[in-house]
Amino acid sequence: MSEDTGTGFTPLDYDIRKILSALPHRYPMLLVDRVIGMVPGESLHAVKAVSFNEGFFQGHFPGRPIMPGVLIVEALAQAAGILAIEELNLAGSGKLVYFMAIEEAKFRAPVEPGVLLDLHVGFIQKRARVCKFWGKAMLGDKLAAEVNFTAMIADQPA
């Protein structure tokens, strides 16, 4: 990890290789490209580069491609999974972070190809087996989506 910037935000050297080692997701379901940094114990900032080459743009919607809201929420959940893995020291433990609930999802602006989608997530409640998170997907300074969600920490299926 890098030095604290004085705001509590710690830049992370968390590239795609480290993301692949942390999350079980693979193409086409891996929706986090880089982790920018985190405030330990609180929040994480990640990025998804939204490309026209994403398969969902072929059908959602022809002539006006936008990223499906459910995939924006999934990207936020993956970023929260990385936060949980880092904060709860789950790397290499064989544990997975499973979605349990989505609450208060609101979509404010369409996410179109060619943008960097900033994924901001943080803890609402943190326990050993169940965590609640908030998430905001941003397009620069513009809010694209916001959601609260719950995840459980469990062993991988046998």
Q: Are 15 and 30 in contact (CB under 8 A)?
A: no
Q: What is the mean pLDDT of residues 122-140?
A: 96
Contact 115, 133 (CB under 8 A): no
pLDDT of residue 156: 84
Q: Would you call the peptide bond into 61 cis, given omega within 30 degrees of 0 as the criterion?
A: yes
Residue whose structure tokens are 């459980």: 152
Structure confidence at residue 4 (pLDDT): 47
Distance CA(122)–CA(132), nearest Å, equals 9
Give the pLDDT mean for 42-67: 94
Q: How many helices (H) and strands (E) does the chain have?
A: 2, 7
CB distance 64 to 54 below 8 Å: no
CA separation for the pair 56, 61 (Å, rounded)? 9
Q: Reply yes or no on whether 120 is catalytic.
A: no
Q: What is the pLDDT of residue 7?
A: 67
At residue 11 the predicted structure's pLDDT band, cuts being 50, 70 and 90, is confident
Cis omega before residue 28 (within 30°)? yes
Mean pLDDT of all residues in 112-136: 97
Provide the percentage of residues in the chain whose pLDDT is more than 70.
96
| Mean pLDDT value of segment 121-136 | 96
- What pLDDT, on a 0 to 100 scale, did the predictor assign at position 2? 41
The reported pLDDT for the residue numbered 88 is: 92
pLDDT in tens, 56-102: 999 999 899 999 999 999 999 999 999 999 999 988 888 999 999 99
Domains and CATH numbers, the chain: 10-117+127-155 (3.10.129.10)
Q: Which residues contact 146 (CB under 8 A, 6 or more apart)?
A: 104, 105, 106, 108, 134, 135, 136, 137
Band of residue 12 on the pLDDT scale cut at 50, 70, 90: confident
pLDDT for position 6: 52
User: What is the number of other CB atoms lying within 10 angstroms of the CB of residue 58?
Assistant: 11
- Between the alpha carbon of residue 49 and those of residues 36, 65, 147, the distances in Å are 13, 15, 20
d(CA 97, CA 154): 7
Most confident stretch, 1-5, 27-31, 45-49:
45-49
Strand-pair category, 142-155 with 115-126: unpaired
Residue 5 has pLDDT above 60, yes or no: no
